[in-house]
Copies of this chain bind each other. A is one copy, B any other.
Amino acid sequence: MVGAPDRLQRILDFLEFADRFKFVERRGYLTGGERRENDAEHCWHMALVAMVLHGELEDPASVDLGKALRLILVHDLVEIEAGDTYAYDDAAIEGQEEREQRAADRIFGLLPDDLGAEMRALWEEFEARETPEARFAKACDNFQGFMQNVISGGRAWRENGVGREDTRRRTDFPRTVDPAFDALLTRLYARTDREGSFG
């Protein structure tokens, strides 16, 4: 009789499963447009955004950067099962929450119970957008997604008919989180207008 996997094995199984994150495609392209960005790349880039912008916040001490990084690193894991939901696809957004809850049960359930609960709590904190770290992390998420489209010349916007006003769905929120996002986004909009990259 084969017993249930033990603690070490559950950790290894989770880390192996996580490799699939690198296959979850987003809509946005990389610079040069050769291929789309994947979730692992997005999370790494978003974490770098957080590291670089943390000191630019009005009150850096109000946001625990280490905590924000932990939220960022797990915030999209559910997409391994639930898939990436495009920010501008209203039909897909409708079933998103239920899909992602089911995915969370499965994915965080791979880990030993205590560790799985800890990781799931991080994901839930991110989703709720209430704590300063979750608000900052979500602002980095939106900012990175917008910036990725700017630096890839807006190809995904044009392919999906996303116009200048539509992009406010991703940029209004970060502007409310801190003036640093507001200032950076103003620059990126000016560049995008100049380059004519909106859809």
**Which A residues contact B (CB, under 8 angstroms)?**
8-9, 11-12, 14-16, 18-23, 30-31, 37-38, 40-41, 43-45, 47-49, 51-53, 55-56, 64-67, 69-70, 73-74, 111, 114-115, 118-119, 147-148, 151, 183-184, 187-188
- Majority SS of interface residues in chain A? helix
Complex A-B: 20 CB contacts under 8 Å:
A11-B184, A12-B147, A12-B188, A15-B48, A15-B52, A15-B147, A19-B30, A19-B31, A19-B45, A22-B41, A40-B41, A40-B44, A41-B41, A44-B44, A51-B70, A51-B119, A55-B115, A64-B66, A65-B66, A66-B69
Instruction: Count the copies.
Output: 2
Complex: A147 Cα to B22 Cα, angstroms: 15
